[in-house]
Homo-oligomer: A and B are copies of this chain.
Amino acid sequence: MAKENFEEFAYTAILGLILENRFKPGDFLFETELANSLGLSRTPVRHALGQLVAEGFLEKKKKKGCYIPDVSARDAQQVFFLRENIEGMAAASAARFATDNDIAFLKALVEKEANPDGTLSKLDVLEINKAFHLGIARFSGNRYLEHYCRHIFWRSNVYVFFYDNYYREHIDYSKLKTPVQHARVVAAIENRSDEKAGNLMKFHIRSTYEMLFMKLQHLA
């Protein structure tokens, strides 16, 4: 990873650590420790932590530090409820404003995701998924909506990774039907059916949520 700008480097590095579940909920992220492990001074690390707090990935106690927010069934419900609606809006908006190039980009993703030869690694799938959701956010043509989409997408991914790590064996990925659902959304966007695109996206996110949390009621 190039370090041309230490603040950005620190930001992506720390966000990476969070998304990889390198910290448990409640753990504090110490400026000095992170600075040492990243080979920087505290200054850019501190700046990056400030961004992450502002964006809701971390919480902060004054004069105490930044810590990983609690994960809970209630929090997950809030996150996914919001993501459903926000990304639903984005998909509907994209159906109105996406250019032909944008749509071609989405179609290429969907095609790759179909994975007829079975050559995609799990990491590839995650990468395509990210490109799909953030792509639609971008194509909504509303920079504020895009901003919210990015945020809630990453915030929900904390749960995706979290449950993935702890309950790997209980999740049947083949039942997620993600590629098919993505393809349907893209088709609606291509047909410029904004309402339909929004509803399909909402359905997609809800079904992801239900699949992840179906067997985990005990966390409530």
- Measured CB to CB, the residues of A under 8 A from B are 5, 46-47, 50-51, 54-56, 62, 78-79, 81-82, 85, 89, 141-145, 147-148, 152, 155
Contact of A55 among B54, B81, B152 (CB under 8 A): B54
A178 CB to nearest chain B CB (Å): 23
Q: CB distance B85 to A89 under 8 Å?
A: yes
Q: Is the interface of A mostly helix, strand, loop or mixed?
A: helix
Which residues on the B side are within 8 Å of A62 (C-beta)?
5
Chain B hits for A79, CB < 8 A: 144
24 CB contacts below 8 A, A to B, read: A5-B62, A46-B47, A47-B50, A50-B50, A50-B51, A50-B54, A51-B54, A54-B54, A54-B55, A56-B144, A56-B147, A78-B141, A78-B142, A78-B143, A78-B144, A82-B89, A82-B142, A82-B145, A82-B148, A85-B85, A85-B89, A144-B152, A144-B155, A148-B148
Task: Across the interface, name the chain B residue whose C-beta is closest to A4.
Answer: B62
- Distance of A197 Cα from B101 Cα, bound (Å): 39
State how many angstroms separate the Cβ of A85 from the closest Cβ of chain B. 6
Report the Cα distance A61→B144, complex, angstroms: 18
